[in-house]
Amino acid sequence: MGHLAEPLRGVVAPVFTPFNDDLSIATDLYTAHALNLMEIGCGGLAPFGTTGEALSVKRDERVNALWALREAGIDPAKMIPGTGLCSYGETADLTRACLDLGCAGAMILPPFYYKGMPDQGLYDWYAKVIELVGDDLRLYLYHIPQVSGVGLSVSLVRKLRQDFPDQVVGIKDSSGDWENTKALLNIDGLIVYPSSETLMLESMALGAPGCITATANFNAPAMVEMLAAHEAGNEEDAALLRNTIAGVREATVKVGFIPVPKAYMARKTGDSRWANVRPPHVQASEASAQTLQKEIDAAR
């Protein structure tokens, strides 16, 4: 069964990465936003995921930003940053830097340039990362085939978990495929995070510790409340909250998780820098942010 890593529980936020007008990381906004998410009651942070524009941010920028979170008072043991790059060597270097900082683990994409690689090749790649990083790696696989173009089959995940029980501790399943999430939840000792808060309670009933969801960036309070209601046995309240949460998510899914929600953050906070995105993303219009705000307000 191997090592049982202590998972981050509840709502884990894949933090947006705010940028100044020159597109450098806005460290002040970043730390304030992260602190706020933890104060709201998030169980942890997953910085530099897809929503955090990870692949648009240099490795040293990522590490510096994580240090800034730590210096701002966030326990790095509450963070699972994304560290997946295309080469196993660069992935291992970045992962090592995150572990040295005290992070609970790292969320690692499969190598996503070459498509259609056999499971054996993906297995060998992760094995190389584990070998290079060392035994203290706590690896969360990151399955988001609709973006990365490279998926992780359930049988590959099972084999990695079996062969590296102390290192391969979990997976974030962003496929949105509930059958896939359920199959992963059946793998012995594997920590599984679904990517939608609408499936959080169902996943937790099957053993998941919580979820990692992009909308936590601006809707975490309702999710934390839903979870509290559920844990207090108030299933009626939990169901009502779930409906509003589903409405907010639906409004967001329609416009995508990055530019429009960031422009919405700019409206909400009054800090226009929130609307900045790095290319290849394009800043959303004020009008689209307004529409999202209206739809979110209507859902609530």
Number of H helices, E strands in the chain: 12, 7
In the region spanning residues 278 to 297, those forming contacts with a second copy, defined by CB under 8 A, are 278-282
In the region spanning residues 142 to 161, those forming contacts with a second copy, defined by CB under 8 A, are 146-150
Q: Would you count residue 261 as binding a second copy (CB under 8 A)?
A: no
Q: How many CB atoms lie under 10 A from the CB of residue 4?
A: 11
> What are the φ/ψ torsions at residue 175 (nearest 5 degrees)?
-70, -25
**20: DSSP letter:** -
Q: Would you count residue 114 as binding a second copy (CB under 8 A)?
A: yes
CB 111 within 8 A of CB 122: yes
Structure tokens at 75: 């326990």
Smallest gap from Cβ 165 to a second copy, in A, equals 21
Of 107-115, 217-225, 232-240, 241-249, the segment contacting a second copy by CB under 8 A is 107-115
Q: Determine which residue in the list 76, 81, 111, 210 makes contact with a second copy, applying CB under 8 A.
A: 111
CB 107 within 8 A of CB 84: yes
**278: DSSP letter:** -
Distances (CA, A) of 129 to 65, 96, 126: 23, 10, 5
Q: Would you count residue 58 as binding a second copy (CB under 8 A)?
A: yes
In the region spanning residues 61 to 80, those forming contacts with a second copy, defined by CB under 8 A, are 61
Geometric angle at alpha carbon 80, from 129 and 137, rounded to 5°: 35
Residues near 127 by beta carbon (within 8 Å), at least 6 away in sequence: 163, 164
Looking at the Cβ atoms of 25 and 185, the one nearer to a second copy is 25
Q: Would you count residue 183 as binding a second copy (CB under 8 A)?
A: no
Looking at the Cβ atoms of 158 and 281, the one nearer to a second copy is 281
Structure tokens at 167: 């290192």
Smallest gap from Cβ 209 to a second copy, in A, equals 27
Of 12-20, 35-43, 56-64, 263-271, the segment contacting a second copy by CB under 8 A is 56-64
Q: Determine which residue in the list 118, 233, 270, 287 makes contact with a second copy, applying CB under 8 A.
A: 118
Structure tokens at 82: 């994304």
Of 53-61, 185-193, 197-205, 231-239, the segment contacting a second copy by CB under 8 A is 53-61
Query: Interface residues with a second copy (CB under 8 A)?
Result: 23, 50, 55-59, 61, 85-90, 93, 110-115, 117-118, 120-125, 127-128, 146-150, 278-282
